[in-house]
Structure 1
């Protein structure tokens, strides 16, 4: 007992001396039992050696490794996300550029569609205007150049001369045209079925037409302006253009003045003109012809014949065709103001027309190709308005019965050598059912035709001349 008291007093004394470095605490342990704790700082050690078990240390290291791996993974993921974002931005830029390009293309196509619609509307209004407008009364012959073509006549111009006081006049005041709309008439279709003749053929010289082959299509016109037209080849070509050159005029419109030239049939079929000439005065209808380096055509709304020289690209001669009907007075049955029709054959240059005196019957005149003066004329008994078209071969006139029937005939012929006409029945095909031009081409020994936008040709056979 005495010993315990001494120990207690000693501990108090020691506690008093070391109260700054010792502590005493009391509390419950995990089993809820009271536990006294007495803590004293070590006088010699600044820190205690590690008391954690090796298992705890390994566990801590493992956790730290997991944390480091997670940090590394997150850092690498940010790099991948950055790369993916860059690729997305690039793809978005490409898609945006393609969208803008498509918008521009859409705007351009919309503009083209609008322009085409405007063109169609203008053509429709022009057609309506022509159908409804009354025809103005104007002189049928203008002795001066039109505005913009000069103030004086060229020294090459040739005109018919008349004695002073001569009562004859090139005008026909008893007739006046009434409708300026593009003329289309209806033909009385007359078909004469006949077997293909087996007459002997003359492959070089002249003879009577005995057979016309099936049409061969070479090209279709590109626009409404080419529904009717004329295409031709110079039988006696003169410089600067060769004998293979082909020429074309689209004849729908109020101011037809463009003449297209093609180097050969292949270029025509492909639609690649080598030359485009602007004629000084507008063309009337589909009756033009090419001969000896010049284009021969009828001036619009007049009976004036014009010779346009290709080499100089100028008018070399002009002349009024005496008393000839024009602008719808004596057309072919399909209409089109086809009153005056040039033709070329082995005998030279011809013009097919009618007059008041002939009362609508076909008149044929052979022309001087240089001056356009009428050398000789023949009046036939074939009414011009009852046939679809006409052409000359070896001094003979031939007419076609129908412009619309797919199977029609060459139905009449007139021989200028004997002044005799006769009915014939040579089968002829209108493949596209609206034939607005038929001409003979001596250099090719073919018929050229314009059938409802299509340029076609026909092989022919001539019988031996008796």
Structure 2
């Protein structure tokens, strides 16, 4: 309070000085006698509004003094809690706050609008995915439709995969009502029951297949040599980088509680691959809706897993250990080291991915494809006991594992794919375990998405299952005797 009083006195004193200075510059004193002879004094001060000439004493010093006085008045007003300066500052702050609130409201409106747009686009994507799935189903249905034109008598009409009397065909992943355990005829691809030569020619088949006959027992069993691979059909694209490569499977001899139409998928990108997704049928797989998710007790290595007789067979990460995981009990049922097998990048396929050990299933049982130091990188093929994982018998081939993109088994024969990136490559090599003979081949094979990391034979569907650069795809195959 004393400090405030001292400032007030200073302002009053400076104001007095200023008034005195101004008075000295504008006032005049006059002395004279009046009519009665008395001395009379007159004091005159100019009006500030009517003065015609500024005083000579009002120079830069006076203006500076006025400026200082103004600053002192402002300081005194602030110290005394004056209204004027605070009002101006408060008004500025209020305007800034109002502007900030208006900007915030505008941003909120824009965010809401963007969210609506995002939801609309997401709905459009979902509708397009549904439409693509419907078109794929329609394409499958059209493929399975019999050709209306009767073939000439001289042209063979069926391949060796035909099973006489199998009855009407259904969708390639739907089972026939009342199907008994072990009956896989209802799951055969219908295109091979009724495929006419016109349809086969449209698919650019490279060889003709003789009609089945009683004299040819190999034809009656449905087995034969690979003659052609059809066009790839995409069923689903992975949603994230984890699905760039992986493996999908179907058990040819399923056990309870899972049915014959059950499909399984594993995304194999990552250091801890342990999730196994199960789908009731192809439609659920295409839509991405798993009905079962299992967590494997030990991490999986690469894309070489297989499904057989109610168990998942896979290689444990960073080891040559083979694991049989029982689906019913959700536990490890057997484990065994594969003798001398290379692992974790020692003898992979040409695309890499630590594909040293590759399981395969065909009409003759469970196999494993690998290599050893003794074989110097050449493919070694072993048949396994599906219960104990014991090696029953082995063959050493004459093709290096690192020079081929992938391999699969059909009817006891090993086949290899030449390239995983070339859009038009070939199945270039076969090895027959019944004769221990190998030979070169040139069966056309397409990598539509140019990064095929898994190829396995599915004997239930008479198809190849593959994983091509985020895409789950399948190929029809045709078997028979070479002419």
Measured against the shorter chain, the TM-score band is 0.5 to 0.7
2:357 aligned to which of 334, 340, 345: 340
Q: Deviations over 1:181-223 (max 9, x none)?
A: xxxxxxxxxxxxx971113264851111101000000000110
Q: Deviations over 1:379-398 (max 9, x none)?
A: 00011011000000000000
Answer yes or no: is the 8 Å Cα contact 1:214–1:458 preserved in 2: yes
Q: Which runs of 5+ in 2 are unaligned?
A: 1-103, 119-203, 212-218
Distance 2:116 2:272 in 1: 30
Q: Are 1:198 and 2:208 matched, yes or no?
A: yes
Pairs within 5 Å for 1:407-418 = 407-418=424-435
Which residue of structure 2 lines up, in the alignment, with residue 386 of structure 1? 403
Q: Are 1:282 and 2:292 matched, yes or no?
A: no
Distance 1:253 1:274 in 2: 23
Pairs within 5 Å for 1:267-306 = 267-306=284-323
Q: Deviations over 1:70-101 (max 9, x none)?
A: xxxxxxxxxxxxxxxxxxxxxxxxxx999857
Pairs within 5 Å for 1:428-447 = 428-447=445-464
Answer yes or no: is the 8 Å Cα contact 1:206–1:465 preserved in 2: no
Distance 1:273 1:334 in 2: 29
**Displacement of 1:108 after TM fit?**
13
Distance 1:458 1:315 in 2: 32
**Displacement of 1:344 after TM fit?**
0.1
Pairs within 5 Å for 1:34-433 = 196-200=206-210, 202=219, 205-433=222-450
Answer yes or no: is the 8 Å Cα contact 1:446–1:457 preserved in 2: yes
Distance 2:436 2:283 in 1: 40
What value does the CA root-mean-square deviation take over the aligned residues?
Answer: 2.7
Report runs of 4+ in structure 1 exceeding 6 Å deviation. Answer: 96-99, 104-110
Q: Which runs of 5+ in 1 are unaligned?
A: 1-95, 111-193
Distance 1:417 1:465 in 2: 17
What is the DSSP-based 3-state SS (H/G/I as helix, E as strand, rest coil) of the residue aligned with 1:268?
Answer: helix
Q: Which has the larger radius of gyration?
A: 1
How many residue pairs match? The answer is 290
What is the DSSP-based 3-state SS (H/G/I as helix, E as strand, rest coil) of the residue aligned with 1:279?
Answer: strand
What is the DSSP-based 3-state SS (H/G/I as helix, E as strand, rest coil) of the residue aligned with 1:391?
Answer: strand
Q: Deviations over 1:409-431 (max 9, x none)?
A: 00000000000100011000000
Q: Deviations over 1:240-279 (max 9, x none)?
A: 1001000000000000000000000000001100000000
**Displacement of 1:237 after TM fit?**
0.7
What is the DSSP-based 3-state SS (H/G/I as helix, E as strand, rest coil) of the residue aligned with 1:269?
Answer: helix
Q: Deviations over 1:146-199 (max 9, x none)?
A: xxxxxxxxxxxxxxxxxxxxxxxxxxxxxxxxxxxxxxxxxxxxxxxx971113
Answer yes or no: is the 8 Å Cα contact 2:336–2:390 preserved in 1: yes
Which residue of structure 2 lines up, in the alignment, with residue 161 of structure 1? none
Answer yes or no: is the 8 Å Cα contact 2:227–2:482 preserved in 1: no
Distance 1:381 1:418 in 2: 14
Higher helix proportion (structure 1 or 2): 2
TM-score for both structures, normalised by structure 2 = 0.57
Distance 1:324 1:461 in 2: 32
TM-score for both structures, normalised by structure 1 = 0.59
**Displacement of 1:312 after TM fit?**
0.3
User: Which structure is richer in relative contact order (CA contacts within 8 A, separation 6 or more)?
Assistant: 1
Per mean C-alpha deviation after superposition, the further-off stretch among 204-213 and 224-233 is: 204-213
Answer yes or no: is the 8 Å Cα contact 2:362–2:412 preserved in 1: yes
Answer yes or no: is the 8 Å Cα contact 1:206–1:464 preserved in 2: no
Distance 1:253 1:428 in 2: 28
